Amino acid sequence: MADKVIVTNWTALKKKYGAKTANVDSAIKKMIAADKARGLITILLRVDATADMKKVGGGVVTSAKSEKQNKKAIDKIDAKLSPDYILILGSVDVIPHQSLTNPVFDPGSDDDKFAFSDLPYACDVPYSKDPADFIGPTRVVGRLPGITGDTDPRYLISLIENAMAWEASPPKTYANGFGISALVWKGSTAMSMKNLFGSGSAARLSPEEGPEWTSPLLSRRSHFINCHGALAEPFFYGQKGNSFPVAHEALFVSGKISRGTVAAMECCYGAELYEPDDAHAGIANTYLQYGAYGYFGSTTIAYGPANDNGAADLICQYFLKSVLGGASLGRAALEARQKFAQHAPELDPVDLKTIAQFIFLGDPSIHPVKTTAAPASKTRGMAAAAEGSVSRDDRRRGLLVKGVMISQSQPVARRSTAALSPAVRSSLMKLAAKNLEQPLVMSFDVDRRNPQVRSAFMKGRMAAKSPSSFHVLIGRGKRTGIAPKTRGGTPGQPPIKPLIALVAKEAGGKIVSVRQLFGKRAFLP
């Protein structure tokens, strides 16, 4: 039996670190000992080791790049051991993300062919590339990533050491959040900050402030950021009109955030685990390097409204809200995914991308906020640890049931090839003309999956009121921005046209609602 399983690929680690991999092994043993002192049984399983995989009845991962082999290996580990926590150790060059098909892919605007995801590792369903197959997660999963492409294990070891030395703090320690928002999204971010931290909270607005934030602000333990992000860059960007200045930068985070920080980042590519080409790694890696316990963000282009909450706003709020309530970081990620999967009567295509792209980086067993139900510390003793385990088991069973229920009952959007009616097409083109240049129109049928649920929707008034289709119009906005400047005054990429997605809901042959979402991306080619 194991409460927590550390999953890694030793061959891939040795390829990166050579003889220094022995230092990683030493750090893992210290983590196992530290967990034991807290009453947590932790084991290491190497997906590339025959002996380890034989213990769980699984096949060996012969290629570290094989997403299918890695998915099957973690499925076998969970099926045999049913751990409360699964900790993936290593970046994507050790255990890869699962590449889920982006439902709203468009080479001219949303050019993510895939949403790179750890979500399938949290789901008890077979390997697939369809995000709709993974809307009902049941497992508590996190990742201590290391840095992609590095050859020195000191960074990864520092993350292990930080994670094993965690301490829970009183709720008030995390109650005063640090928020940053692009000025154009101040309405949405104000709602998020109020929902998380109360009516007296307020986000800092870029470009009115930043990016050299003061130490008192950066030292707050809860961070919530709603800005633009860019592919393979250590910056987040604000926006005012046509100006897109740097709002947050890895350089200015270094050494200034508090140990124990928990961050929820809505920005595009905010949790991208790219290989840095200079001395500065991405913001996600930098937060973890300087002591953050947990980081929740997107690997690809994320979406949200300007003056309301939806998509990235919601899933980030759900994560941080669970953390503030005393959940372990891994449980907070699971609860956020499950709550997001049920936030609407049906999951539209942008919802599916959202749940796929947001990942949790950190040790899932850490409880940053102290509550009476938190796991036992060394001073509380084994009896208290056993009591904590029982309550944890109850929670896991409840989350398992909920995940299965979501998988079987939640309607989702699936791509349709049916021709649009002239009336619907005319309505969509009028919408597009107001907002977009050369938009792509994608249509999706609502799949109600479970026959009983499908039958219930077809009866009585629900048949007329329930949407039959979603239509997504996606493209570049009509207003062109000014190229921003990056650190040191170097000109940024070419002028910006905002990425916009209009999600229209069809029922009874008519468009009954439309929501406008903005891509949280700084640059478009």
- 456, pLDDT greater than 70: no
pLDDT at position 523 is 53
The residue-averaged pLDDT of 87-109 equals: 97
CA distance 141 to 363: 8
Mean pLDDT of 172-183: 97
* pLDDT higher than 80, residue 458: no
Nearest to 151 by CA among 278, 14, 48: 14
Q: Has residue 301 got a pLDDT over 90?
A: yes
How far is 175 from 196, CA to CA, in rounded Å? 8
pLDDT, residue 387, reads: 42
Taking 50 as the threshold, does the pLDDT of residue 162 lie above it?
Answer: yes
What percentage of the chain exceeds 90 in pLDDT? 79
pLDDT at 90 over 50: yes
Q: How many residues in the chain?
A: 525
Tell me how far apart the alpha carbons of residues 140 and 338 are, in angstroms, rounded to a whole number. 12
Q: Which residue has the higher pLDDT, 483 or 276?
A: 276
| Arithmetic mean of pLDDT, 173-190 | 97
For the cut 50, the answer to whether the pLDDT of residue 381 exceeds it is no
pLDDT at 241 > cutoff 90 = no
Token pair recorded at residue 282: 């991405």
- Give the other-Cβ count within 10 Å of 503's Cβ: 24
Which two three-digit tokens encode residue 145?
Answer: 């990533």
pLDDT at 451 over 80: no
Percent with pLDDT over 70 in the chain: 88
Considering only the top CATH level, what class is 168-367? alpha beta
Q: Give the Cα separation of 408 and 3 in Å (integer).
A: 28
pLDDT at residue 265 tops 60: yes
Give every CB contact of residue 81 below 8 A, 6+ residues apart in sequence. 1, 2, 5, 56
Which residue is it, tokens 């008890």?
A: 124
Least confident of 213-222, 306-315, 427-436: 427-436
Query: According to DSSP H, which parts of 373-482 are helical?
Result: 381-409, 422-435, 451-457, 462-465
pLDDT in the model for residue 397: 94
With cut-offs at 50, 70 and 90, classify the pLDDT of residue 504: very high
Q: Is the pLDDT of residue 454 over 80?
A: no
**pLDDT tens-digit profile of 20-46?**
999 999 999 999 999 999 999 999 999
- CA torsion, points 101, 105, 110, 113, in degrees to nearest 10? 40
DSSP state of 278: S
Q: Are 362 and 163 in contact (CB under 8 A)?
A: yes
Percent helix, strand, coil in the chain (nearest 5)?
Answer: 35, 20, 40
Q: How many helices (H) and strands (E) does the chain have?
A: 16, 21
**Residue range 473-490, pLDDT digits in tens:** 999 886 544 444 443 334
- Give buried/exposed letters for 397-432 (b at 16+ CB in 10 A, else e): eebbebbeebbebbbbbbebeeebeeebeebbeebb
Intra-chain end-to-end CA distance of the chain, in Å: 51
Categorize the per-residue pLDDT at 420 as very low, low, confident or very high, splitting at 50, 70 and 90: confident
For residue 369, is pLDDT > 90? Answer: yes
* Closest C-alpha to 100, from 129, 71, 124, 127: 129
Three-state SS string over 469-493 comes to: EEEEEEEEECCCCCCCECHHHCECC
- C-beta of residue 334 within 8 angstroms of C-beta of residue 322: no
Q: Where are the domains of the chain?
A: 168-367, 412-519
Confidence of residue 135 (pLDDT cuts 50, 70, 90): very high
Residue keyed to tokens 């009845």:
57
Q: What is the mean pLDDT of residues 135-161?
A: 97
pTM reported for the whole predicted model: 0.93
Is the model's pLDDT at 198 over the cut of 90?
yes
Q: Is the pLDDT of residue 382 over 50?
A: no
Q: What is the per-residue pLDDT for 383?
A: 38
Opening angle at CA 280, ends 146 and 252, nearest 5: 110
Task: State the average pLDDT over residues 86-104.
Answer: 98
Stretch 437-452: mean pLDDT = 84
Q: Decide: helix, strand or coil at residue 356.
A: helix
Q: Which two tokens stand for residue 106?
A: 């468009």
The identity of residue 7, as a single letter, is: V
> What average pLDDT does range 290-317 have in this prediction?
98
Residue 371 has a pLDDT of 84
